[in-house]
């Protein structure tokens, strides 16, 4: 069983329900072999920008930040980590990319969970592996490959 602690400090129209978030997290963790806890914090652009600058040293808000937990040896803890999702950025991206908002939310949540599991997209091989996992999970939800969108 996977547990989500939801901290919705920002509310926006058409924001996913806890049940939707749970479904996406469960699918992303389906073959991980672990039951875990994830904190999902939904924030505004100001908080996202502050955290992005503080932890990634990048300017401006971002769609999601993932913070895997580092558990000291000998400590038993099911916490996988925290995800901070900027609802206004997700909505803006979905509009710009002409995607359904719920589909983009699903992609962002799954993307964040995979980061918590240790996947990344720093180099091309890692990016290809992570993107193929994301698209396979999204396919189970009948959501098209989000990487087919091309920014003209």
3-state per-residue secondary structure call for the chain: CCEEEEEECCCCCCCCCHHHHHHHHHHHHCCCCCCCEEEEEEECHHHHHHHHHHHHCCCCCCCEEEEECCCCCCCCCCEEEEEEEEHHHHHHHHHHCCCCHHHHHHHHHHHHHHHHCCCCCCCHHHHHHHHHHHHHHHHHCCCCCHHHCCCC
Chunk the chain into consecutive blocks of 10 residues (it has 152) and report each block's average pLDDT, rounded to whole numbers. 94 93 95 88 98 96 95 86 98 95 97 94 84 95 84 48
pLDDT of 27 reads 95
pLDDT of 151 reads 53
pLDDT of 150 reads 55
Structural domains present in the chain: 3-148 (3.40.390.30)
pLDDT of 152 reads 43
pLDDT of 77 reads 83
Task: Name the pTM for this structure.
Answer: 0.92
């Amino acid at each position: 069983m996977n547990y989500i602690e939801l901290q919705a400090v920002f509310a926006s129209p058409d924001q996913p329900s806890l049940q939707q978030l749970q479904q996406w997290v469960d699918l992303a963790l389906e073959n991980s072999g672990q039951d875990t806890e994830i904190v999902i914090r939904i924030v505004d652009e100001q908080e996202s920008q502050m955290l992005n600058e503080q932890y990634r040293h990048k300017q401006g808000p971002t769609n999601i930040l993932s913070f895997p937990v580092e558990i000291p040896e000998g400590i038993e803890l099911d916490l996988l980590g925290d995800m901070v999702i900027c609802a206004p950025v997700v909505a803006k991206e979905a509009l710009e990319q002409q995607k359904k908002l719920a589909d983009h939310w699903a992609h962002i949540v799954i993307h964040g969970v995979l980061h918590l599991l240790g996947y990344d997209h720093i180099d091309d091989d890692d990016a290809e592996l992570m993107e193929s996992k994301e698209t396979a999970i999204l396919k189970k939800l009948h959501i098209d490959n989000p990487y087919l969108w091309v920014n003209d």
